[in-house]
Amino acid sequence: MNTRVFVLAALAGSFAWAAQPQVPDTPAAHQFSAWLAAFNSGDRAILLQFLEKSFPSRVKEIDDTLGFRRQTGGFELKKAEEATATRFTALVKERDSDQFARAVMEVEPAEPHRIASLDVRAIPSPPGFRTPRMSESEALAALRAKLQKDAAADRFAGAVLVAKNGKPIFTAAYGLADRGKKIPNKLDTRFRIGSMNKMFTAVSILQLVQAGKIQLTDPLGKYVTDYPNKDLASKVTIHHLLTHTGGTGDFFGPQFDAHRRELRTLQDYVKLYGQRGLEFQPGSRWAYSNYGFLLLGVVIERVTGGSYYDYVNDHVYRPAGMISSGSLTEDEFVPGRSIGYTRADGSDVWTPNTDTLPYRGTSAGGGYSSVEDLLRFANAVTGHKLLDAHYTELLTTGKVDGPGGSKYAYGFGDHTMDGVRSFGHGGGAPGMNGDLQIYPQSGYVIAVLANLDPPAAGRISEFIGSRLPEK
């Protein structure tokens, strides 16, 4: 999803603005102010000294904290919301983006009032702080300035495309696709797209629904008759899988890390994870599930009798005119595919993400594409080249509540901010980040791909999406 949720034990912003909000005279507020200053310094020694004195339980997490400091650029305090002797709540904003968060700090009642907890969660821009809309030319000029600044600071490397009524009105590429060989990113560079593949999987499923070969209300077990866990197979429907409401869980974690290079087919994942039970009763709540979309790929294979990859190539990429998208294995040469770069364990150095990559992308994500291909896909969706009007609407209209006030449709997020609606999907993992947003009211399409850690691309997509005209 475009809204990022951070639940961190240590996070803050700074007092670097012209008219700073008044900070209440309470122990909790004073500790928050001190923590903000230490965090925003970006200096390991200063932050460590503060943590040792006032937040000792978080000393071991200093690398994660410094990584988050680099990601956000620090925070500005925008508003003090609640203040008691032991609790302080405030609105803060990232210095390097438009992202707001709510920070809640609690301190011990006795002196020296050490920090007991600090919880910061991303939230939509509050009323009174929302970014004003601009004219198209003003918004694109602001975007170019933002990209130049972020690229110069090594916060963005990738490609950006903004279109209006199907035609590009802004294109740019920054940074290096291969830092060792000094190969620059270009508009046709292939970037790994993470979970953005879920859109292609959902389109494929809806095509089979439209053709009468799948029913959304049918259980998984109707199509995958040999699924190991019969309880899951009998209760989880295609609709549940498409909306992340099936309780099927994720596949990332220790098991995945141990078998990363052995998982070569979709069925390999089922063999490893298929005995697992449900995490909750299907339909009772929303919980993002990569494994659920993996299972949708298995359904496509069982219904069509062919491979998931061939189906998507023949029924999504080809009719949409997508010439730079695919999911070839990592040991195959893919012309123009960028290397992903990640910062791990608090390091300041970008290193290749090679050791984190699966053998091959799946129906849950992990393929590659270009911003030009993403525009072709958006045009094919809105032009009903992939599905008729009824099923296109069914595909992209929100069904269940997701995080941050958004809704989730079938493999697409459905967002409305200040009355402006968009639908699309993001993707992110170490060394890769992307986002596609389609604005049906105005005709804008935003495609951003980066070969750096999240939120390199998401931050740019949100920046321009909040500034373009409503119509």
The 10s digit of each residue's pLDDT in 287-298 is 999 999 999 999
Residue 132 lies inside a defined structural domain of this protein = no
Question: Looking at the structure, do residues 168 and 64 belong to the same domain, yes or no?
Answer: no
Give me the pLDDT at residue 346, please. Answer: 64
Q: Three-class SS of residue 340? A: coil
Q: pTM of this prediction?
A: 0.90
23-62, pLDDT tens digit by residue?
A: 899 999 999 999 999 999 999 999 999 999 999 999 999 9
In a domain, 15, yes or no: no
Instruction: Indicate whether 20 belongs to any domain.
Output: no
Same domain, 339 and 428: yes
Q: Tell me: do 238 and 94 sit in the same domain.
A: no
Interval 225-237: pLDDT, tens: 999 999 999 999 9
On whether the CB atoms of residues 447 and 374 are closer than 8 A, the answer is yes
427 contacts 433 by C-beta, under 8 angstroms: yes
Instruction: Residue 82: give its domain's CATH number.
Output: 3.10.450.50
* Boundary residue ending a domain (96, 123, 150): 123
In a domain, 133, yes or no: no
Task: Kindly list the distances between the CA atom of residue 40 and the CA atoms of 20, 153, 286, 291, 457, in Å, as whole numbers in the listed order.
Answer: 15, 16, 35, 38, 23
For 404-454, what is each residue's pLDDT tens digit?
779 999 999 999 988 899 999 999 999 999 999 999 999 999 999 999 999
Q: Are residues 64 and 196 in the same domain?
A: no
Domain count for the chain, please give it: 2
Q: Is residue 138 part of a domain?
A: no
Same domain, 33 and 99: yes
- 294 and 211, same structural domain? yes
Residue whose token pair is 């594409």 = 369
Residues 6+ apart with CB under 8 A from 12: 32, 35, 36, 38, 39, 40, 74, 75, 92, 103, 118, 120
- The Cα 187–Cα 371 span in angstroms is 7
- One domain, residues 177 and 289: yes
Burial class (CB in 10 A: 0-12, 13-18, 19+), 305: exposed
Instruction: Report which of 60, 58, 75 is spatially closest to residue 20, judged by C-alpha positions.
Output: 75
Residue 152 counted as domain residue: no
Same domain, 96 and 191: no
- Find the domain containing 306 and state its range: 159-465
Separation of first and last alpha carbons in the chain: 23
- Which residues, 6+ apart, have CB-to-CB distance to 430 below 8 Å? 340, 342, 344, 353, 356, 453
CATH number of the CATH domain containing 426: 3.40.710.10
355 and 429 share one domain: yes
Q: In 356-443, which ranges are continuous DSSP H helix? A: 371-382, 389-396
Tell me, yes or no, whether 64 and 164 share the same domain: no
The amino acid at residue 255 is Q
- Report if residue 435 sits inside a domain: yes
Q: Examine residue 139 and state whether it is found in any structural domain, yes or no.
A: no
Same domain, 180 and 41: no
Do both 104 and 174 map to the same domain? no
What are 164-188's pLDDT values in tens digits? 999 999 999 999 999 999 999 999 9
